[in-house]
Every structure is written in structure tokens, then in C-alpha cells.
Amino acid sequence: MAALGAIVREESDVPAATDTTEMFAVHDAFRTEFGALPDLIAAVPDGDLERAGVVGGHVMLMTMMLHSHHGSEDLLLWPVLEERAPDRLVLVRHMEEQHAQMGQLLEEAQGLTAAWMASGDRTQATALAALVAELDAVLREHLSAEETEIMPIVALTFTPEQFAEIGEHSRAHVPPDLLPIGLGIILSDTTRERGEAILSFMPPEARAGFEQFGRPAYDAYRARLIA
């Protein structure tokens, strides 16, 4: 009986895995939005500045969200994993290299988007669609590896508070007026279960504010985008 008691105590001391649902939900949104962008861009009529402004604005929002997301991981995820999971150092370095590759593509995409929004030129739109498709291909490979190889390690080596810092840092670098749109995008693109989990993490007053003001703002944003 004493031996059994020792086993029970030892197992009870093992910390519960940290819930990484938010990361998967954010990844769902990146896959959906970046996957749809090339066709969305290509469908804009040549010289249609109004439509180029709407679609280009969405490109700018998504590239900003991805850049902010990656910046938070560069600061708060990869350096920590290098210390806590040294046996996965090659993988972590590969993930960092992909971030650098995507960072260059994001910078190019933002510059080309700004030019296209100002001109509505079909040639620029075609180039932008191809560039976003290239970015999407790298992004999908990266997200898949992060979910299958990295998140299981994070769940066991990060406390909930440490993991939450990644999302908090990312949101801090998005303009406040765009945060409800970003949340609406994530909730729209992920599963109902993941969306409910994200909402459950929010303080009651923040969730109520989103439902009253943020969700209608997102609905109006999406209606303009798919018009």
C-alpha cells in the first residue's frame, strides 16, 4: 500500500498540459485567409480603385497579423524552446529560418499591396496574387510542423501564463480598432469548439463588448470583403 501511495503522489505532481487551443485557432485563420487571398486579388477588375482598396486593406490586415504573430514567437517562443528542448534545436532553428523567409515575403507583399491600392493596376495585382500564393505555401508547411512538432512540447514546458504572453504580445501590436476584426476573423475561420474556447478565456466584460460591438463590426467588414 505504501508503494501504491508513493505512485499516486508522484503522478499527482505531474503538471497538467497547457491548453494551446488559441494557437490552433489562429492557425486556422491564417490558412483560410491566405489561402483565399490569391483568388480574391485576381478577381478585382483592372483599375477598380475602390475594390482594390477593400481587398488590399484585407491583405494589409492579414500580413500585419501574421507579422505580429511571428514577432511574438520570435521573442517569447523560440528562445525559450532552445533552452527547454535542446534536443529539438535543429527543428527550432528551422522554424526560425522559415519565419525569416516569410518575413521577407510579408515585406514585399505589403509594399506591392500599397502600390496596387494606389493604382488598381492588373499587372500589380497578378504579381501580388503570385507572391501571396508563395507565402501561403511556406506558411502551410510551417503551421503544420508547428502544430505537430512544437505545440506538444509547448503544452508540457510552458505554464498557461507563459503561453498566454505570446498571444498578449501579438495583440498588443495590432491597432485597437482592428482587434475586434481580427478576433472575428479567427472565430469565423476556426471550429465552433475552438472558438468557444477562445471566448471562454476572455474576461466577461471583454466578451460582452465583443458581442455587442465587435461582432457587428466584423460582420460589416466581411460583407464588404465578399461583396
Q: With beta carbons less than 8 A apart as the criterion, state whether 173 and 45 touch.
A: no
pLDDT at 16: 82
The C-alpha cell at 42 is 485576381
Contact 93, 105 (CB under 8 A): no
> Does residue 12 register a pLDDT over 60?
no
pLDDT band at 211 (very low <50, low <70, confident <90, very high): very high
Per-residue confidence (pLDDT) for residue 15, from 0 to 100: 62
Do the Cβ atoms of 129 and 41 come closer than 8 Å? yes
pLDDT of residue 10 exceeding 60, the answer is no
Alpha helices in the chain (DSSP H): 2-12, 21-42, 49-76, 78-84, 89-119, 122-145, 151-157, 160-172, 179-189, 192-201, 204-209, 215-225
Is the sign of the CA dihedral 18, 19, 22, 24 positive or negative?
positive
What proportion of the chain, given as a percentage, has pLDDT over 70? 93
pLDDT interval class at 5 (50, 70, 90): very low
Res 34 pLDDT > 90 = yes
Handedness of CA 130, 99, 113, 187 (dihedral sign): positive
What are 97-116's pLDDT values in tens digits? Answer: 999 999 999 999 999 999 99
Of 1-15, 128-142, 150-164, which range is least confident?
1-15
Rounded to whole angstroms, how far apart are CA atoms 31 and 36?
Answer: 8
